[in-house]
């Protein structure tokens, strides 16, 4: 397993709908998912899409276990969100690709997710609460959407301007 570099906004690779469906779950893909999980834990975060580490595949890893709980990783290959509820909930979100910024985002309260697991078996998960929010956030990444795209244009532009400035300062050092 290896820790990979996480791409941050405003990098254009996060905006392209590049993520291709996975044809089969094999050892190479499991190795990628292991790297993603290690990268996510190191960051630290609770979810990571493959595109965030420069791999344009429809793959997500998540672990919603608390700090005092046993790790409980979930691997989503080719995730599809089915039946999102009409009811919506506000959750504070952050993103490893938009570091140090958090804001409330409105998303469907519940949804079903169809996906292949770590072994390539088809699964369907009923998600609610933080699980529903997180999986929707990560699937957005596969479509080139960042959580800040759900905010007002003013907030989004302010965040992107700050990130560009920080990147310029870091490059100058």
pLDDT in tens, 106-135: 999 999 999 999 999 999 999 999 999 999
- Percent of all residues in the chain with a pLDDT value above 90, rounded to a whole number: 84
Can you give the pLDDT at residue 27? 98
User: In sequence order, what DSSP letters do the residues of 115-138 get, joined into one string?
Assistant: EE-TTS-EEEEEEEHHHHHHHHHH
| Average pLDDT of the residues of the chain | 94
Cβ contact 165:172 at 8 Å: no
Cβ contact 42:5 at 8 Å: no
* pLDDT class of 95 with cuts at 50, 70, 90: very high
* pLDDT class of 26 with cuts at 50, 70, 90: very high
pTM of the complete model: 0.93
Residue 54 has pLDDT above 90, yes or no: yes
Cβ contact 103:152 at 8 Å: no
* Residues with catalytic function: 138
Residues of the chain by 3-state class (helix, strand, coil), percent to 5: 35, 30, 35
Residue 160, CA distances (Å) to 3, 42, 95, 136 in order: 25, 24, 13, 22
Residue 64 has pLDDT above 90, yes or no: yes
Averaged pLDDT, 66-86: 95
Residue 34 has pLDDT above 90, yes or no: yes
What is the Cα 19 distance to its own chain's centre?
Answer: 12
Helix or strand or coil: residue 160? helix
Question: Which class for 169: exposed (0-12), middle (13-18), buried (19 or more C-beta within 10 A)?
Answer: exposed
For the chain, domains (ranges, CATH) are 12-172 (3.90.45.10)
Q: Tokens 């344009």 label which residue?
A: 56
């Amino acid at each position: 397993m290896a820790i990979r570099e996480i791409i941050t906004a405003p990098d254009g690779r996060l905006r392209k709908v590049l993520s291709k469906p996975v044809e089969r779950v094999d050892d190479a893909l499991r190795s990628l998912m292991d790297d993603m999980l290690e990268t996510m834990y190191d960051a630290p975060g609770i979810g990571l899409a493959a595109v965030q580490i420069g791999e344009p595949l429809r793959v997500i890893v998540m672990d919603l276990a608390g700090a005092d709980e046993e790790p409980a990783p979930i691997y989503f290959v080719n995730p599809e969100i089915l039946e999102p509820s009409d009811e919506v909930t506000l959750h504070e979100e952050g993103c490893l690709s938009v570091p140090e910024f958090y804001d409330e985002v409105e998303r469907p309260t519940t949804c079903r997710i169809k996906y292949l697991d770590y072994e390539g078996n088809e699964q369907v998960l009923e998600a609610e609460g933080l699980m529903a929010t997180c999986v929707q956030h990560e699937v957005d990444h596969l479509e080139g959407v960042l959580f800040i795209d759900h905010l007002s244009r003013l907030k989004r532009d302010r965040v992107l301007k700050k990130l560009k400035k920080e990147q310029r300062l870091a490059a100058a050092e």
